[in-house]
Chain A
Amino acid sequence: EPEVTQTPSHQVTQMGQEVILRCVPISNHLYFYWYRQILGQKVEFLVSFYNNEISEKSEIFDDQFSVERPDGSNFTLKIRSTKLEDSAMYFCASRPGQGNSEAFFGQGTRLTVV
């Protein structure tokens, strides 16, 4: 069964460093998402991406964040200068299209900023 894969599963980084979280969505999907979950809290929407551009972003997704689909298969989330409060589980998701199309989530990348 096709699945969304995320790498790495766990990343530890120093405050102020740049990190790139990687995702390989399901191949024929058109919509891509990043969500995050701070430990013990709800899953929050960060950004959605369609047709090679951001279609929607939340207040959390400030100038420190960017997304890219560099090669038609990977979908990356970059955090330019990490802060302690960026420590969270980051989930990538993809869905085939509009209407009834369930979003498929990856297993997540746990980011720890020290």
Chain B
Amino acid sequence: GEDVEQSLFLSVREGDSSVINCTYTDSSSTYLYWYKQEPGAGLQLLTYIFSNMDMKQDQRLTVLLNKKDKHLSLRIADTQTGDSAIYFCAEDPGVLSGTYKYIFGTGTRLKVLA
């Protein structure tokens, strides 16, 4: 199947770390992405990781990839109220799978409490 699963909601206090989890299905996925969507807005690419990497850090964002378990996580350090949004993971199955589309997760709504 092509289901990419995420937990629906996450609530954290300002200043704490947030961890958003995602499980994907296609073991041949070459790239995995994290997008942020603020209310009524479009999709903003936050970061991505190549499938031969375990971890990628980009300022406050840390992406961890466990290929064996097909598990991806996004950690946001020092979470701010401006981080409140919906976060989507997306997998890119890659050329070898014969498709060029992204498969998006269900989205996790992050709420940051002041």
Contact = CB atoms under 8 A, between A and B. Distances in A.
Contact of A107 (B42, B105, B106): B42
A50 B98 CA distance: 13
A45 B103 contact: yes
A56 B43 contact: no
A93 B101 CA distance: 10
B107 A31 contact: no
B42 A31 contact: no
Contacts, number: 58
Given A99-B95, A105-B42, A48 B106 contact: no
A93 B92 CA distance: 14
B100 A56 contact: yes
B95 A43 contact: no
A45 B102 contact: yes
A38 to B, nearest CB: 12
A42 B104 contact: yes
Contact of B43 (A41, A43, A55): A43
A22 to B, nearest CB: 15
A110 B41 CA distance: 10
A44 B101 CA distance: 10
B42 A106 contact: yes
Contacts of A48: 99-101
Contacts of A103: 102
Given A56-B99, A56-B101, A104-B45, 18 more contacts: A31-B100, A33-B101, A33-B102, A35-B102, A42-B106, A42-B107, A43-B43, A45-B103, A50-B100, A55-B100, A91-B42, A99-B30, A100-B30, A100-B31, A105-B43, A106-B42, A108-B43, A110-B40
When A and B form their complex, which 10 residue pairs have the shortest distance between CB atoms, in order from nearest? A107-B42, A43-B104, A105-B43, A45-B101, A108-B42, A42-B106, A98-B95, A42-B104, A48-B101, A48-B100
14 contacts: A31-B100, A35-B104, A42-B88, A48-B99, A91-B42, A95-B100, A98-B100, A99-B30, A99-B94, A99-B95, A102-B31, A105-B35, A105-B42, A110-B40
